[in-house]
Structure 1
Amino acid sequence: MISESLNYLRNDEEGWVRTVLIGGVLSLLGVLIVPTILVAGYLVRVVRATMHGDERPPAFDEWGDMAVDGLKATVIALVYGLVPMIVAGVLVAGSLFTLFVGQGSNGASILGGLGFLVGLLASLVLGLLAAYVIPAAVANFVETDRVGKAFSVGDLRPVLTSGKYFTAWISGFAVIVVAGIVGGVLNAIPVLGLVASAFLGFYAAVAAYYMIGHAWGDLRNVEVREMGDQPDERAAI
């Protein structure tokens, strides 16, 4: 599956370079927010296509619709990301307050230090949990075209606890991590490293969401629309 995901964009022999160029430039300009939303919209299209078994990568077109989809996906990610941020903020702030109030006290210093470490650990664990849930939440939104379904525990639980989704997620995570490592090494070269990291990040994200889309389609028995074929049904897993 990793091999197929890395070759996914190249299925469009004529347009894949253009897609990577646009995606890379948008990722490079991600600090402006709107480009990030557009990239998120493209990833939504990747999930929508792959969950239906379509191996043709989507194009960067119909920018308004893409922006709307990207904004919805971004909101979903932010909502899930709020919990780790709030927990970390409360625990870290409480630890710093304890250290400040108990200045000169060994007990307060130890308690504050432990609280700080617990806060960091909790935020890390919850952050990873959010990162695990978000792709599935986005996929459920994509399938149903309803943002509220991104928070449907009943829909998400069987997918999140399946081996197929876990394998797809961990594979995508590995691809993104490797791309990040390569980008980090290239950052030793001024400017070039920054640009390369943006393009690698986009390519890796597309590969990751390709795997998520396929896993979601298999697990949810999503209608398949192969190129040139009539709609069919996936075999139930």
Structure 2
Amino acid sequence: MDFGKMVGESFGYAKEGLVGKWMKWILLLIATIILMLPLMGYALRVYRGEKPAPEVDKWGTLFIDGIKYLIICLIYAIPLFIVLFLALAPMVTEVMAAGGDPAAVSAALAASIGTFLVGLIILVILAIIIGMFSSIGMVRFARTGSMGEAFNFGAISATIGKIGWVSFIIALIIMGIIMGIIELICMLIPFVGQIISFILIPFITIVEARYICLIYDSAGTA
């Protein structure tokens, strides 16, 4: 898998789709403001492999697709919520049982920190796995129109197997680092950094969606 080529193609796709086409960019910013639902729906169009970047139209469809996108994300997030709860519950219980006494609270935190750290490690590992499955599942949903295909774990596993589990993880890490750097740069810009970060949301969304699309297509799966 040529990671550099995929990153370059993804940024080029977003640049071609938005730079100089400011009305499309503005419409996607409006889509961001409206609970991001239309923007999620737009990402599904990118997942379908449309090239160049699709127009921003049929807002009713964008809303409906965005809601479906959100539902799929929430379902995938359920195991993460459960693990997080199990990791935090002992700590919260111990602190509450301490009755507000500082020494007892400190002792309670020390006693439960090990369980919390183990839970945190499990949470990170689970998040990576879920991120892989949900990404491929979302593309399957986008291309088939069936929400059930987003949870077709057998087909998703087969696709990831063709991509390569290690290659997929590396690909996600690379994009995560790039997006983290962009966000960090925006945070470091005084006063207008948050505004720039908001303006870049449509561009970043398209880059990430196209990147996942290219990873999916590298498996040769329809």
What is the TM-score normalised by the length of structure 1?
Answer: 0.76
Map residues 113-192 of structure 1 onto 2, 5 A cutoff.
113-163=113-163, 167=167, 170-171=170-171, 173-192=173-192
When structure 1 is superposed on structure 2, of 85-94 and 105-114 the one drifting more is 105-114
1:72 to 64, 68, 72: 68
Which consecutive residues of structure 2, in runs of 5 or more, have no partner in the other structure? 1-5
- CA distance 1:14–1:107, change in 2 (3 Å): closer
- CA distance 1:14–1:131, change in 2 (3 Å): closer
- CA distance 1:70–1:105, change in 2 (3 Å): closer
1:20 aligned to 2:16?
no
When structure 1 is superposed on structure 2, of 161-170 and 187-196 the one drifting more is 161-170
Which consecutive residues of structure 1, in runs of 5 or more, have no partner in the other structure? 223-237
When structure 1 is superposed on structure 2, of 194-203 and 34-43 the one drifting more is 194-203
Q: Distance in 2 between matches of 1:195 and 1:123?
A: 31
Please tell me whether the aligned partners of residues 46 and 57 of structure 1 are also in contact (alpha carbons under 8 angstroms). Answer: yes
When structure 1 is superposed on structure 2, of 71-80 and 34-43 the one drifting more is 34-43
* RMSD between aligned residues: 2.9
Aligned to 1:87: 83
Please tell me whether the aligned partners of residues 2 and 171 of structure 1 are also in contact (alpha carbons under 8 angstroms). Answer: no
In terms of fraction of residues, the more helix-rich structure is 2
1:7 aligned to 2:12?
yes
- CA distance 1:203–1:144, change in 2 (3 Å): same
Secondary structure of the residue that 2:36 maps to in structure 1? Answer: helix
Q: Distance in 1 between matches of 2:156 and 2:173?
A: 19
When structure 1 is superposed on structure 2, of 99-108 and 132-141 the one drifting more is 99-108
Please tell me whether the aligned partners of residues 98 and 109 of structure 1 are also in contact (alpha carbons under 8 angstroms). Answer: yes
Q: Distance in 2 between matches of 1:97 and 1:177?
A: 36
Secondary structure of the residue that 1:59 maps to in structure 2? Answer: coil
Percent identity between matched residues is 21
Aligned to 1:111: 111
Please tell me whether the aligned partners of residues 87 and 119 of structure 1 are also in contact (alpha carbons under 8 angstroms). Answer: yes
Secondary structure of the residue that 1:219 maps to in structure 2? Answer: coil
Aligned length: 213
What is the TM-score normalised by the length of structure 2?
Answer: 0.80
1:63 to 59, 63, 68: 59
Please tell me whether the aligned partners of residues 160 and 168 of structure 2 are also in contact (alpha carbons under 8 angstroms). Answer: no
Deviation of the 1:110 alpha carbon:
4.2
